[in-house]
Each structure stands twice: as structure tokens, then as C-alpha cells.
Amino acid sequence: MSSAVRLVDLRETPLDVAEVVAALDDDASGGLTLFVGRVRDHDAGKDVDGLEYSAHPSALDRLREVCERVAEEYDVHGVAAVHRTGTLGIGDIAVVVATSAAHRGDAFVASKALIDTLKAEVPIWKHQRFGDGTDEWVGTP
């Protein structure tokens, strides 16, 4: 694992933003950009009651690969990504990604690439439950 990749994990337990920030703490970084994805109470005009995240057995390795690629492609000092699995309620944190760099611009660009690539390539699937009794799988192959 690249020395810039500081924290990568999938967890069924609540995520801690402070843990991610602490993992990227260093005196050389002038900027740290953090994205926190939370469970919202609506989607596509429907009320969301809650959801579950499921991950393929390869998901952690794929997440690590995405973090390594971001660390190699962008001028960053640190990269971190943690995603929840299991049952989440409205307002729960589903994902935390962060990058640190000498300058804020590099951190912003790298963090956007990190969350966008994670969403596109890591096999984690969302099963949403709606208030009207229907449900929907998101991100499945």
C-alpha cells in the first residue's frame, strides 16, 4: 500500500469523521478535503425510510485499488476512504473520503476523483426502503 494511502476500510459500525481526519494529519499538508455521504430522507421524489449496503467480497480490495490510483494520479500527501455496510437510518454516515495535499486545489480535485471513482467501481450496493412500502436496489450489476 502506498504511504499516501492512510486508511481504507468497510465497516458495519458507525463511521467516525474525526478518525479519517486524524489519519491524514501531517504538518506538510496545507489542505485537507473531506466528503461525508449521509443517508437522506428522500430519493427520486419518494420518502426513504432507511437502507442497507451490501458489499461484494472483493469490495475492500477494490476500494484499496481506487485509493492507490488516486494517490498515484494526484499530487496528494494522504488518502482515506471508509464505507459502511449493513443497515443505516436517515442521517447516518454512509461514506467518508478525504485527501490531504500541500494546497487546497489538489486536495479538492483528488477528493472528487476519489468519491466519483469509488461510486463507479467499488462493488457496494444500496437497497433502499421507501415510505410507500416499495424498495429499490441501486448500483447492482
CATH number of the domain encompassing residue 108: 3.90.1170.40
Is residue 136 in some structural domain?
Answer: no
Structure confidence at residue 2 as a pLDDT band (50, 70, 90): low
Q: What is the mean pLDDT of residues 53-82?
A: 98
Share of the chain above pLDDT 90, in %: 94
Helices (H), 12-96: 17-23, 59-73
Is residue 137 in some structural domain?
Answer: no
- Segment holding 103, helix H or strand E: none
Q: What is the mean pLDDT of residues 31-47?
A: 96
Q: What is the mean pLDDT of residues 1-23?
A: 94
pLDDT at 1 over 60: no
Q: CA 52 to CA 49: how far, in whole Å? A: 11
Is residue 139 in some structural domain?
Answer: no
Question: What's the domain range around 66?
Answer: 5-131
Cβ neighbours around 136 below 10 Å, total: 15
Q: What is the mean pLDDT of residues 72-82?
A: 97
pLDDT digits (tens, 9 = 90+) for 85-115: 999 999 999 999 999 999 999 999 999 999 9
Overall number of domains in the chain:
1
Is residue 96 in some structural domain?
Answer: yes
Q: What is the mean pLDDT of residues 43-50?
A: 93
Q: What is the mean pLDDT of residues 42-70?
A: 96
Q: What is the mean pLDDT of the chain?
A: 96
Is residue 140 in some structural domain?
Answer: no
Grid cell 467516525 is found at 16
Is residue 141 in some structural domain?
Answer: no
